[in-house]
Amino acid sequence: MASVVFLQLTTHLLHTEDFFAGMFYMFNVIVIGHGVCVHAERVSRERFLSERALASLNDELRGANGSLERKNRELEISKKDQENKTNALLALREQQMIAAQTASREKSNFLAAATHDLRQPMHALNLFLQAAAEAIRNGEYAQAERLMNECGSSSVILARLLNAVLDLSRLESGRVVPRYHVFDVRQIVEEAAAQLRPFAMSRGVEIRLRLPKEEVVCVRSDAHWLGRAVANLMSNGIKYADKGKDTKATVIVGVVHSPTRARIDVLDNGIGIPRDYFEAIFQPFFQVNNPEQDRDKGLGLGLSIVNAVVSMLDQHRIELKSTEGRGSRFSLEMPLCGPTIDKPSSRAPQRSEADETAQLNGRYVLLVEDDGLVRASTEALLSQWGVLFDSAATFEEYEEILADIERFPDLIITDFRLRDAKTAREVAMASATRLGRACPCLVVTGEPTATIVPLACDHDVLSKPVSPAELRREMVALIARADECACEAEAATVQ
């Protein structure tokens, strides 16, 4: 509009020639102005786009910087975590190394102590044997008999120590698998008390039982190993009785229970245990107040075996309370179960040594043992008991005896593994095949019982070393069981 007005004014004021010149000038001005405006607008638009792109790039850069910072923080945290894990692994490795060194040192100390304690009765046994031989040569038969009795005492100590060391080794190595079942715990306590009463009487110690009379206390445990633990605790109380007190030395064994737990308490009024020794007494060969290593106070392994048994059995624990000079109380806790008993059992009647020997007199036994020394000593023992026997060193010799046998054997005593790659399983099968029926078999082996029992075809197993009394007792029990089964079978046939 301004251009039109300006054009009209110019037309009225100027002449025609001047008008065209002015128009040309004005057109140039308009064109130049338009170009300038277009350029300015383009520059402005480009600047705007550049600024917006720059702002977007700045936003992206800030985002990238933030992401990078987060990555850096995450890397820093990851680095710290990795350092912590590495330090933890190094610390764990160090702990394991220390534990391994400690275990190795404890094992070495255990072996050194065991070797020392095993050498003592062996040394005494050798000296007694030499002295007895000299007494026999000099015609001093009464002295020789006394020395031979001392030899027997030394051999009993040696066997007891070796068995305790082997039991502890098996328990701590995890080779013993507990056999859980439900039973009345009162029976375990009564059996342990019956077993230890003669020993307690010889020490002037009285054993008192405080058991629920009309209430069954059923627990879930391993009856054999729990019985061993209870017997060891009672024996420990008897051995450390304080005979200097005015009151009678007494060991009290009680059974109490809560709705879910049962507890066996073994109390004594003996010398007591200082609190500083509460942990040490459960270590092998550690004994309080026995610097002279008096064997009448035990071998120093009883409480170690108790601790190993409790550690092996599920949900079992042991607690000790003691006052020095007044006595101690050991408490064994275990899970309480319902009144249903899995395998009720009755204790075998106690027999005297003379009764057991009389029951073996005239019996016929087959002995299979590849070790000449063990075979000869067993033959000598069987002869003293009046047992008739045939012995074999190999499975082939055993088969030859079976081929010419004239009397059905009352019992077979065999090692588990023979040198000709045969085992007690083949020995039992051969007798059943050749003789027409199975014969009771007693496996006496030096191999770990936990390894042998699953392979021994349900035969009774004894682990070497076996005391003569234990061997005689087991032989009598097996023969009596076989005789009872034979009588029942004969009665059934008659009916």
User: Tell me: the pLDDT tens digits for 411-423?
Assistant: 999 988 888 788 8
337 vs 10: which has the higher pLDDT:
337
Average per-residue pLDDT for the chain: 80
Instruction: Please say whether the dihedral angle defined by the alpha carbons of residues 359, 360, 361 and 362, taken in this order, is positive or negative.
Output: positive
How far apart, in whole angstroms, are the C-alpha atoms of residue 227 and residue 187? Answer: 9
The answer to whether the beta carbons of residues 267 and 252 sit under 8 Å apart is yes
Q: Average pLDDT in the 119-136 region?
A: 84
pLDDT band at 409 (very low <50, low <70, confident <90, very high): very high
How far apart, in whole angstroms, are the C-alpha atoms of residue 391 and residue 376? Answer: 9
Q: In percent, how much of the chain has pLDDT > 70?
A: 81
Q: Is the peptide bond before 274 cis (omega within 30 degrees of 0)?
A: no
- Work out the burial of residue 384: count CB atoms within 10 Å of its CB; fewer than 13 is exposed, 13-18 middle, 19 or more buried: exposed
Q: In percent, how much of the chain has pLDDT > 90?
A: 9
For residue range 299-351, what is the model confidence (pLDDT) as tens digits?
677 788 888 888 888 999 999 888 887 888 899 999 888 664 544 444 445 56
Beta bridge partners of residue 264, listed in sequence order = 255, 332
> Which one of 11-15, 21-25, 310-314 scores highest in mean pLDDT?
310-314
* Residue type, position 161, single letter: L
pLDDT at 457 over 60: no
Lowest mean pLDDT among 170-174, 286-290, 460-464: 286-290
Q: In the prediction, which pLDDT does 351 show? A: 62
pLDDT at 455 over 50: no
pTM of the model: 0.60
Instruction: State the DSSP H helix or E strand holding residue 321, giving kind and residue range, or none if neither.
Output: strand 317-323
Helices and strands of the chain, counted as H and E runs: 12, 12
pLDDT at 280 over 90: no
Helix, strand, coil in percent for the chain, rounding step 5: 60, 15, 25
pLDDT band at 488 (very low <50, low <70, confident <90, very high): low
> Which one of 20-34, 235-249, 406-420 scores highest in mean pLDDT?
406-420
How far apart, in whole angstroms, are the C-alpha atoms of residue 70 and residue 177? Answer: 55
In DSSP notation, 65-134 reads HHHHHHHHHHHHHHHHHHHHHHHHHHHHHHHHHHHHHHHHHHHHHHHHHHHHHHHHHHHHHHHHHHHHHH
Q: Average pLDDT in the 173-180 region?
A: 79
